[in-house]
Amino acid sequence: MQALKWTGPVVAMIDCTKIRAKLTYSQELGCIVGSTLSFDNTNIITYDDIHLKIKEIQDKNAIASQVRCIILKVMVISFFIIITIIFFKNLINIF
């Protein structure tokens, strides 16, 4: 947090999920997903490369079996207070 120069509160969440080992081509991303290799190593230029890349990933035994996600959320207290005031003000106007 020193790099961001943030001194306020931070919420951290960690999730580690086991997944089924499977390689698939994602047309949206343009690469093979399900691998532990970088995007540069799984990037597909032509459709003929798909089976070659999948074979290469299998030969390197680089198929993912779990996903670990670390999420950091910066708590902006003033924003929370403003939203709360608006909510309660509207609630009072209803009654």
22 pLDDT above the threshold of 80: yes
Mean pLDDT of the chain: 78
Is 33 within the bounds of a domain? yes
The residue segments making up the domain with residue 44 are: 10-94
For residue 42, give the nearest of 61, 56, 28 by alpha carbon. Answer: 56
Number of folded domains in the chain? 1
pTM equals: 0.56
Q: Report the phi/psi class of residue 70: left, alpha or beta, with left for phi > 0 and alpha for psi in -120 to 50.
A: beta
41 pLDDT above the threshold of 50: yes
Is 88 within the bounds of a domain? yes
42 pLDDT above the threshold of 60: yes
pLDDT of residue 19: 79
Is 42 within the bounds of a domain? yes
Pick the residue with more confidence: 90 or 13? Answer: 13
Q: How far apart are the first and last CA of the chain?
A: 44
Helix (H), strand (E) at residue 82: helix 77-94
Mean pLDDT over 45-66 rounds to 92
